Structure 1
């Protein structure tokens, strides 16, 4: 019985998120919400001013974009967009640096566009956690639910 209780406690502690983990995930979710709302200011509020966004496709070199350009492109979009994790992302934190890694899907006007992996590197600042880099793959096959 003690062994079971010890194992149950260990699993519970492993599954429990720390306050920092919740805060880090909230920043990434707010970025997704900004994409869905086509709200450039919301997106900018989650990132450092010098943040970069990188996309990686099957062919060609990774493409980097300044957060200002990405936020402006999304704000000007004419289609509805949804970006969401398809399973709980992994969160690693050490001190004032955090990494989020998770599989996602992207919808345009309610239809599947692509999936892939989102990774975000965040730093804890005086204003809270902020994204320094956001990188993602663009995949059209092998996606969950497709």
Structure 2
């Protein structure tokens, strides 16, 4: 770039490009913050179907809800401390195949954020019920991405605390 100054045609075109990019970025931020009710419902349905398949031990169906490189983080209360584990979706699915007990995991107090119609975040409280008995409770957090096949879970993190929630 020459040093001809700010008033040159060269700077004017570059300035116009920079200004256009800034305006587009500002517009996209506004778009990112407004998700439609239908989009939020689609994300919620994906998460609820994942949890239903998980509780019913439909392993192949659970795997299809995840991206190929999904990450699963578990934080469990053990005694007086919290212990965390991190696994790839594949390793987590492999461990899941050893499960024999079906369960239900209803969620409530759900918060959904969708950015740019391509990235979604879901936070929800849950309880795990086995034969009408609450085994544990905690918080589920999901990050989903929109693919050509629809919404997929790229990351799931959850806390697992034995027993009923304290407010029950």
Larger radius of gyration: 2
- In the aligned structure 1, how far is the partner of 2:132 from the partner of 2:147? 35
Q: Bigger CA drift: 43-52 or 133-142?
A: 133-142
Show the 5 A alignment for 1:121-132: 121-132=143-154
Equivalent residue in structure 1 for 2:46, among 12, 19, 27: 27
For 1:49, the equivalent position in structure 2 comes to 68
Task: Tell whether the 8 Å contact from 1:83 to 1:105 is kept in structure 2 after alignment.
Answer: yes
Task: Tell whether the 8 Å contact from 1:80 to 1:110 is kept in structure 2 after alignment.
Answer: no
C-alpha displacement at 1:117, in angstroms? 0.5
For 1:81, the equivalent position in structure 2 comes to 103
C-alpha displacement at 1:60, in angstroms? 4.7
Scaled by the length of structure 2, the TM-score of the pair is 0.69
Task: Tell whether the 8 Å contact from 1:56 to 1:137 is kept in structure 2 after alignment.
Answer: yes
Scaled by the length of structure 1, the TM-score of the pair is 0.78
Q: Structure 2: give runs of 5+ residues left out of the alignment.
A: 1-35
Which SS does the other structure have where 1:62 is aligned?
strand
> What RMSD in Å do the two structures reach over aligned CA positions?
2.2
For 1:67, the equivalent position in structure 2 comes to 89
CA change 1:35–1:144 in 2 (3 A) is farther
Task: Tell whether the 8 Å contact from 1:39 to 1:75 is kept in structure 2 after alignment.
Answer: no
C-alpha displacement at 1:141, in angstroms? 5.5
Write the deviation string for residues 103-128 of structure 1: whole angstroms up to 9, x where unpaired: 00012344221100000001111111
